[in-house]
Amino acid sequence: MQIQRYLLKPDCKPDYFGEHFVENKWDFDWYFGFDENGKTKIGIVGQPSCEAESFVRGFLVRDDKLLITPSEKAPRIMRQSDSFAQIRGTDGCAGKKEVSELVKLILGNEVTHTFISRSNEEVYSRSVITFSTLAPSSSLYDIGKEMPILIEKEIDYTPLYRELEIAKQKALVKLGINA
């Protein structure tokens, strides 16, 4: 699995994302739409937060790997080069449902195409990093670098918390404090 990135050709304007609906979350605005084949495509626009700005900055050009944690509790997408550059699927940040949808899109395809599109049909509109199953128009975009994907396992910290709680209880008993 990999991300195939595309760069806008000189003197070209980004293609319009297409009909979509937007989910506004703390770190990102999420664009959901369909490509010409009726498959889901997802776009993100980073909000002014350290994580969002770090994730978006240089996404299409830097040598990097994408770390994906496909978790039902807290899905996450992170750039390997920068621990701040992540999209965390928590209700207070990027949105669990939205991150899960992007994880499904990326992991469900051998190649996911990523490029900049426009949020509306006007020339001056927001730039959206678009993830799609289809490559963008070769008349507007040049093929860029590939980004390998690494899948991380979800870590279940519950056993560690239990061990800590048992150790705490034993320490309190030793000190003569009845917990």
Q: Give the chain's count of helices (H) and strands (E).
A: 3, 11
pLDDT at 131: 95
pLDDT at residue 59 greater than cutoff 90: no
Q: How many angstroms separate the CA atoms of 156 and 142, rounded?
A: 42
The parent domain of residue 25 ranges over: 2-154
Mean pLDDT, all residues of the chain? 84
pLDDT at residue 45 greater than cutoff 70: yes
pLDDT at residue 89 greater than cutoff 90: no
Domain contains 172: no
Indicate the pTM of the whole model.
0.80
4-32 average pLDDT score: 86
Nearest to 50 by CA among 76, 27, 25: 27
> Which one-letter amino acid corresponds to residue 104?
K
pLDDT at 172: 79
Domain contains 177: no
pLDDT at 82: 81
Domain contains 168: no
pLDDT tens digits for 95-126?
788 889 999 999 999 999 999 998 887 767 78
Cβ pair 86, 55 in contact under 8 A: yes
pLDDT at 154: 58
Q: How far apart are the first and last CA of the chain?
A: 51
Domain contains 106: yes
Domain contains 39: yes
Cβ pair 149, 106 in contact under 8 A: yes
Domain contains 160: no
The total number of structural domains in the chain stands at 1
57-76 average pLDDT score: 88
Could you tell me which residues come within 8 angstroms of residue 150 by beta carbon, excluding any fewer than 6 positions away? 65, 66, 67, 68, 80
Domain contains 6: yes
Domain contains 175: no
pLDDT at 74: 84
pLDDT at residue 94 greater than cutoff 70: no
Q: How many angstroms separate the CA atoms of 165 and 49, rounded?
A: 35
Cβ pair 34, 40 in contact under 8 A: yes
pLDDT at 179: 52
